[in-house]
Structure 1
Amino acid sequence: MKKYLSVSEMAKYAGISRRTLIYYDQIDLFKPIKIGVNGYRYYGIDQYFELDVILLLKNIGMPLEEIHTFLNNRNVDYAVQEFYRQRSKVDKQIVILKDIRTSLDSYIKRYETLKNFDLESITYSYREAESFVISDVIDSIDGMDSVEIYGRFYSSVDSKDLFSGYPIGFLVDGAAFYEENFHAAPYRALVKISDERLPLYKSQKIVTRPAGYYVSGFMKDEIHHINIFNNHFRNYLKKNNLVLDGDIWELLWQDEATSEHPEDQIFEVLIPVKEMA
């Protein structure tokens, strides 16, 4: 019966690579039982059981340095304690992965919407209330002041909310609607916040889009489309005997993730309305 196994034989026996075994030797995690005069590593067949423990611990996600400590402290109580601890780490990872999955679902749903949007269509519909974290006033798109405001704002928003998949929004004073180009008026940036996460933010940084009826439509961020959109919206309100009833809300549905050209950005504009008296 063969007494020793070479590195290649032990690696094949355990289903791992030679490089892995050599690395385990180098970090004193799993060493060969002898080194031949030729400098080759040799393992005893019964060492496989020790290697099996290492592979078990590695399979459940335990880091190599923790595996080293585990091997030097083996007993039932210690094993149970460490497995509980490892399970707790896995539970936290599951929560993180579920959040990532939720964000991915939201992004997919959002970008699927872009396949069917219509720049000519205007919708009159009831919208539920939604809450947002809001930035300071931004006077212009260009300039260092706007960059600084954006920087302060986005750094204050938790990444879980900032990258939830929901379109980033903008809020414009309703009075600007009757200006030549209300999209060039001062505005504030918005990030949607779910109700359960509202306590994470200061109340003065929260704004709620009221529930109610809104006239909405999609618009490309290109001057020709903006001008057409403005006229189209105003004509719709006049034709349907509706008047503005609040501030203007914009949602950026197509962003730099789906096009490298700024002029390809697509906004949904939502204008709260009521029937003209």
Structure 2
Amino acid sequence: MMYSVKELADMADVSRRTLHYYDELGLLVPAVVSDQGYRRYNEASLLRLQQIMFYREMGLELRQIRTLLDDPDFDLLTALRSHREALQDKVRRLQQLVQTVDTTIAHLHGEIAMSKKNLFSGFSEAEQARYEEEAVANWGEMASDSIKRWHQYGKARQAEILAEGGAIYEEIAANMAAGPASATIQASLKRWHNHLRYFYEPTP
């Protein structure tokens, strides 16, 4: 199937001017140009545009992207797996930052005490490492075992676990009006109890 400039622009949510510019750069050349000068794109064009958008999201310049995509050794599946891992890393980092925001809000409301160090939890790997050291110093073997268990998961699995925890948290928050004894909240709390096993063995 072939696509016009307008169809591809609408599909990818980019401007027609952008597609024309990519053509001028040799970054995304139409599969066919009709005798009347109309550009037509095929399925391979769609996949290439997707790669361009992924790399743009990662901050690469257009000429760098063209060099990557035109490399004879470029492999689409390998690139997609790499994008997936990078996105999962980003999800994990954002989940950490969301947790930091939630903890800070609770601290400002006087609900919990929060160390100054924890104000910056999630902003860097070095900060996370220092947080873990603080946890071990405060909680000893329990914290150490929990940290070891966490680091046994791959980055992709960590992102999935964090996403699951965030979903449960949002589910509880959305149904608080039903009351703690409601079947909905109780089911969410049971899921949360099971979720904690990713980190340590919770008490029954």
What is the TM-score of this pair, normalised by structure 2?
0.42
Max radius of gyration: which structure? 1
Normalized per residue, the structure richer in strand is 1
What is the TM-score of this pair, normalised by structure 1?
0.33
